[in-house]
Structure 1
Amino acid sequence: MANGAEGGELAGSVAIVTGSARNIGRAIALKLAAQGAAVVVHARSSRGDVEAVVAEIEGRGGRAASHLGDLGDPEAARALVAAAVERFGRLDILVNNAALRRDAPIEEISAQDWTDVMRSILDATFYCCQAAIPHLSAGGQGAIVNIAGVAAHSGIGGRAHVVAAKSGVVGLTRGLAAELAGRGVTANCISPGYIDTKRDHVPPHFQERPVPLGRPGTPDEVAAAALYLCGPSGRFVTGHTLHLNGGWFMG
């Protein structure tokens, strides 16, 4: 991996990656930092994991800072953006990856479960975008990348609340793209399928139906897609959902 301090296609830019203490978010934070971006690494409460990612970035010559907060609270979202701008002087990239996933049949989803999932996925994405847009617009080259998921397109049993929230993220992304294009800000969505991450179990829908390419994806493959959408090569792409699922869903 290239030394982030020596430059790269994102040299001089500043990025926030929410939910970046582990898995896909961590891979995205490392990828952006390796290409020269200063990265704010975020988690809701996992301070040790966040600090480990920051140390990893800095150990490779990059710049990073940590931030904790529950982004379902609009004040916390504004505080995250303010901390990034205060620390690094600007904001160019926002990657909304933080999410909460729960499994339950539709009849067993409680009002609290519904609220928690919506809050962590859709509400947090909206609040972070709203707080970040003035700063992203200022440079005329801002980029928003929202991480959705295959459930938003295929429909998956046992996760109606997650499907609804992720579908909302896809719709929000399109609305952002249409509204922000004239301000030089792109907004795109990545929809991962089965990615080989640390998880308690493989979701049943991936057990029952194999991935056509014969393997799960990797966090680094999702990170490479995020880099493309955030970088100079992706400046003519907006309002798009990029499917990364090995052929599991073909949209």
Structure 2
Amino acid sequence: MMFEGMRVAITGAGRDTGRLLAGEFAARGAHVYASARDSAAAAATADPINREGPGSAEAFGCDLADPESVRGFAAALAARTGHLDVLVNNGAAYASGPGLEDADDDVIVSMISGAATGTTLLVKHLLPLLRASARPDVVNLVSGCGEPGHRRSTAHPAFYAAKHAQAGLAGILSHRLRPEGIRVISLYPPDFVQDGPRTAGSMLTARSVAECVLFAVGQPRDCFIREFRFEQEQTSLRPVPLEGAS
């Protein structure tokens, strides 16, 4: 199996793309440390993995917006393993709405502190475990909202701010950690759907995003894939015809 014996930590693993990634890594033999703000949701991801194999999983509560929770998750991993092969920074709070007033203050604080501060602290505290790995990777599910000039999402401005901060972290870490052999891989998908047809004219799916992650992590160690950039689905790029036009 491609990832047999690998140790993989995934944030935001209680649902959607994080849960999918946990299952895909485990299906290839990895041991997954699945974290979520709701520990019961993380357990709901880990339990079927442990029943079905071939990989295995452990569940953890980790609120990325709470520094103490982040440090606790990192300490729990250090107590269980001497190394970490892959850290997937997937967890991030989300809100939609074009105006700053479309989200309460506490929602804005949670979005920015989780994706920006929380991700930064988690990488910091897990670096000793990553450095102890023979094949360390840090994978960041950033979002197209972290790309300069991106304005196509319905996400709240604070989500854009959080993802630009995460993109800045990923960029400098890729440069500074490469001499140590730590690959930093970032994905910038546009708004995507969890399920749907995987055709050229359809929206990007979570499974396609997950397969990009698996592909990058599976490459030989001389292959440093820094970023995945995506075109948006083509239907949204077509001009809207004027009324009465044919």
Q: What band does the TM-score fall into relative to the shorter chain?
A: 0.7 to 0.9
The answer for the alignment partner of 1:44 in structure 2 is 37
Structure 2 contact 64–115 (Cα < 8 Å) conserved: no
Of the candidates 121, 125, 133, which is equivalent to residue 131 of structure 1? 125
Report matched runs for 1:1-251 at 5 Å.
Answer: 8-47=1-40, 49-58=41-50, 59-108=52-101, 109-153=103-147, 154-155=150-151, 156=153, 159-197=156-194, 213-233=200-220, 235-243=222-230, 245-246=232-233
Q: Mark the CA change 1:189 to 1:183 in structure 2 (over 3 Å): closer, same or farther.
A: same
Residues in 2 aligned to 1:67 and 1:236: alpha-carbon distance in whole angstroms? 31
Long gaps (5+) in structure 1: 1-7, 199-210
Question: Which structure is higher in RCO with an 8 Å CA cutoff and minimum separation 6?
Answer: 1
Report the AA paired with residue 71 of structure 2: R
Structure 1 contact 180–186 (Cα < 8 Å) conserved: yes
Cα offset, 1:90, TM superposition: 2.2
Structure 1 contact 145–229 (Cα < 8 Å) conserved: no
Give the TM-score, by structure 1 length: 0.81
How many residues matched? 229
Residues in 1 aligned to 2:18 and 2:167: alpha-carbon distance in whole angstroms? 18
Cα offset, 1:11, TM superposition: 1.7
Residues in 2 aligned to 1:11 and 1:35: alpha-carbon distance in whole angstroms? 6
| Secondary structure of the structure 2 residue equivalent to 1:27 | helix
| Secondary structure of the structure 2 residue equivalent to 1:15 | strand
Structure (1 or 2) with the larger CA radius of gyration: 2
Give the TM-score, by structure 2 length: 0.83
Q: Percent identity?
A: 26
The answer for the alignment partner of 2:241 in structure 1 is none
Q: Mark the CA change 1:27 to 1:113 in structure 2 (over 3 Å): closer, same or farther.
A: same
Cα offset, 1:17, TM superposition: 0.4
